[in-house]
Amino acid sequence: MNRYAAIDIGTNSVLLVIAERDSAGQFIPILERAEITRLGRGVDRSHRLSESGIQDTLAVIADYLQQARAAGARGWVLSATSAARDAENGLEFLTKAREQSGVEIDILSGDREAQLVYLAVTADFGPRLPNQPLLVIDIGGGSTEFTCGGLPPDRSISFQRSYDVGSVRLTERYLQSDPVGANERARASAELRATFSNLPPRGESAVIGVAGTVTTLFAIQNQIEPYEAARVHGGTLTLEQLTKLTDRLLSTPLEERKRLPGLEPKRADVICAGALILQAALERLGATYCLVSDRGLRWGLLLERFGSASSANSS
C-alpha cells in the first residue's frame, strides 16, 4: 500500500491526514483527524509555548503516529507553523517531540507555509477553475497567509504575504468580553484593515479560503453537524452570509456559541476573531464570496514529500 501521513501542527489545532497514492499520483484520504490543543496559547503575550500546550500537542502527535503506523503508512511528514516559529522555546518543543516520538518536525516560515497551502489548493481547484487565477486565504490561529498565482500551465505565484494575525492571536489581543463588546470589535477591525491595507487588488482571481476558521464558518452557516469534509469542501460562503454570521457570533455569549451546530466547542472562543479576519480580507480584496477548501497545509506536505514515485520510500 502506498500510504503516507502528514501532520500539521498549528497554533490552535493539530491536523492529520493519512492518504493512499493511486497509480495516477492522486492522494485518496483514508483517515483525517483534527484535535484542538492550543499550542500557541499566550504566545503573542509571553513569546513562549506553555508547558500545557506542549504536552497536549505531544500527546496528540504520538496518537497520530500510532494511527499512521496502524494504517500501514510507509512514511510521514510533520510541520509546525506560527506558534512554534514565534516562540522563544520553539526548539525545546522540537527536542521533546524528537525524544518522545522519534520524529523531526519542520518549523515553516510564513512564506513556506503559504507556498505549501497554495500547492494543495492548485492541485485541487486548478482543474476546476482552469481559466481563473487563484487567490488563497489561509487563516490560522497565529497568522494569516495570502497567496496569489496565475493561470496554467505553471500557475506560478505572483504574490504571497504572511501576516501575524490569526484567530487565537487576535482574540488574545482584543476580544475579552463575553459577548464581544462593540469597542473591542472596532479595535480589532481597525487593526485588520491596517494590516491588510497593502494587499493588491484580486483582479479576476477566484478567492479560496482554507483551514479551520473558514471550514467552521461554512459548517455553522449550513448547520453541518457532525462535520463532514465532503459537504464542506468546494462550498461557497458569500460576504453577505459572512457579515450576518459574524454579527451573530459576536453578539452570542460563549456558552451559547458552544452549542451552535457546526461549531466545535473548543473553537468557540476564537471563531469570532476568525470571522472578523475573513470578513476584513474579503472586503479588502473586493470579493463577494470565497470558495471553501478543507485541504490545506497537510495536503501540500503530502504532495511535496510523497507526490512522486521517487519519494515512495521517504519517511
Asked whether residue 304 is domain-assigned, the answer is no
* Residue pLDDT, tens place only, 153-202: 889 999 999 999 999 999 999 999 999 999 999 999 999 999 999 998 88
- Spatial distance between the Cα atoms of 249 and 254, rounded to a whole number of angstroms: 9
Q: Is the model's pLDDT at 214 over the cut of 80?
A: yes
Sign of the alpha-carbon torsion through 280, 285, 286, 290: negative
**Residue that has been written with the C-alpha cell 516560515 in this structure:** 109
Q: Cβ distance 286 to 274 under 8 Å?
A: no
Residue 249 resides in a domain: yes
Q: Which residue, among 36, 50, 114, 56, has the nearest Cα to 83 in the 3D structure?
A: 50
Indicate whether 250 and 123 sit together in one domain. Answer: yes
Alpha-helical runs (H) found in the chain: 43-46, 51-70, 82-86, 90-101, 110-125, 167-174, 182-195, 212-221, 229-232, 239-250, 254-257, 271-285, 297-306
- In terms of residue numbers, what domain contains 166? 111-293
Q: What is the CATH number of the domain that holds 174?
A: 3.30.420.150
Domain of 37, CATH number, reads 3.30.420.40
Indicate the pTM of the whole model: 0.90
Whether 141 and 171 have beta carbons less than 8 Å apart is answered as no
Residues 103 and 116 in one domain: no
Q: Quick one: pLDDT at residue 42? A: 83
Asked whether 253 and 177 are in contact (CB, 8 A), the reply is no
158 and 257 within one domain: yes
Greater model confidence, 40 or 240: 240
- Verify that 224 and 289 share a domain, yes or no: yes
How much is the pLDDT for 308?
65
Closest residue by Cα to residue 269 from 216, 219, 225? 216
User: What digits encode the pLDDT tens for the residues 42-55?
Assistant: 888 888 998 999 99
Q: Is residue 204 part of a domain?
A: yes
Asked whether residue 82 is assigned to any structural domain, the reply reads: yes
pLDDT of residue 313: 40
Which residue would you say has higher pLDDT here, 75 or 313?
Answer: 75
pLDDT for 154: 85
Do 121 and 78 have their domain in common? no
C-beta separation of 301 from 295 below 8 A: no
> Of 140, 161, 180, which is closest to residue 277 (Cα–Cα)?
140
In this structure, are residues 123 and 208 in contact, taking their beta carbons and an 8 Å threshold?
no
What confidence tens digit (pLDDT) does each residue in 61-94 have? 999 999 999 999 999 999 998 788 888 898 899 9
Q: Note the pLDDT of residue 302.
A: 95
Give the domain-ending residue among 62, 86, 109: 109
Query: CB–CB of 138/296 below 8 Å?
Result: yes
Compute the mean pLDDT over every residue in the chain, rounded to the nearest whole number. Answer: 92
| Per-position DSSP letters for 99-158, written without gaps between them | HHH---EEEPPHHHHHHHHHHHHHHHHTTTSTTS-EEEEEE-SS-EEEEEE--TTT--EE
Q: How many domains does the chain have?
A: 2
Q: How far apart are alpha carbons 273 and 180 in whole angstroms?
A: 10
Cα 216 to Cα 139: distance, rounded to the nearest angstrom: 11
- State mean pLDDT over 243-268: 97
Q: What is the pLDDT of residue 309?
A: 45
In this structure, the answer to whether residues 261 and 236 fall within a common structural domain is yes
Which of 30-44, 139-153, 179-193 has the highest average model confidence (pLDDT)?
A: 179-193
